[in-house]
């Protein structure tokens, strides 16, 4: 397919429309075994998130305490109260995960870091892939459940905090991302096959309202249906 990236960006609403707004916000209803695995069961069961589109910044609220919210950037993460006072903070948070496996519990700040970069990645794809520093390559098509997907392999810039440097996005015939593969480097490189569905139009931009993440096996197929690592149900989505 000629220029798969342009096709995908346009199918999601187009770069011009995306750039009209600076933030994306939503209510998240989350589940899955990951939160218990990292020592924070129920921490993101029902929470609000706002991510910026012109810089890497995300905030979740209420976070672990009804008066707390997070402030994530690629090199710093903090938990603050409603007055803006810092409860905890950590610079270079990625370094704190050195030697971690899928069984290593996370601190509150590490949880804030993961949820911050993850939602920023999800809200900004695929619009940021044309920015300086991103490298995009089209891979061979992939067939799954009778459907053929075109695939974009994206190498993220070093300064962008995300799951892993190289990630793969599966594009359906309408140009929508239906699957997203990556390794969770901060959890020992755990493999993930992340499925997107139930797209809606939010002020001209297509956003998937349901996400389910499974273990990705060596043959590139998901370990399905269990364990469900993470599920995300997005509601009350808005752009400003």
The span from the CA of 29 to the CA of 227, in Å, is 18
pLDDT band at 130 (very low <50, low <70, confident <90, very high): very high
* pLDDT-above-90 percentage for the chain: 99
**Rounded average pLDDT over 142-159:** 97
Question: Residue 2 has what pLDDT?
Answer: 56
pLDDT at residue 1 tops 70: no
Q: What is the mean pLDDT of residues 73-100?
A: 98
Residue 143 confidence class, pLDDT cut points 50, 70, 90 = very high
Cα(142)–Cα(148) distance, integer angstroms: 6
**pLDDT at res. 145:** 95
pTM of the entire structure? Answer: 0.97
Give the mean pLDDT of 71-92: 98
pLDDT averaged over the chain?
97
pLDDT greater than 80 at residue 94: yes
């Amino acid at each position: 397919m000629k220029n798969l990236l342009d096709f995908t960006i346009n199918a999601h609403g187009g770069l011009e429309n995306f750039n009209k707004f600076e933030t994306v916000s939503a209510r998240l209803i989350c589940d899955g075994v990951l939160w218990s695995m990292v020592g924070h069961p129920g921490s993101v069961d029902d929470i609000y998130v706002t991510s910026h589109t012109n810089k890497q910044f995300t905030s979740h609220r209420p976070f672990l305490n009804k008066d707390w919210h997070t402030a994530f950037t690629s090199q710093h993460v903090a938990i603050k109260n409603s007055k803006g006072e810092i409860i905890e903070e950590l610079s270079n948070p990625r370094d704190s995960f050195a030697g971690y496996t899928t069984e290593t519990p996370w601190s509150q700040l590490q949880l804030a870091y993961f949820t911050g970069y993850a939602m920023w990645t999800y809200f900004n794809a695929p619009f940021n892939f044309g920015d300086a520093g991103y490298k995009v390559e089209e891979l061979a098509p992939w067939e799954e459940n009778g459907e053929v997907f075109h695939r974009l392999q994206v190498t993220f810039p070093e300064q962008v905090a995300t799951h892993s440097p190289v990630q793969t996005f599966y594009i359906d015939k309408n140009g929508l991302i239906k699957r997203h593969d990556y390794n969770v480097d901060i959890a020992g490189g755990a493999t993930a096959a992340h499925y997107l569905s139930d797209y809606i139009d939010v002020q001209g931009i297509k956003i998937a309202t349901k996400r389910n993440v499974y273990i990705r096996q060596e043959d590139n197929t998901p370990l399905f249906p269990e364990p469900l690592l993470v599920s995300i149900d997005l509601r009350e989505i808005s752009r400003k």
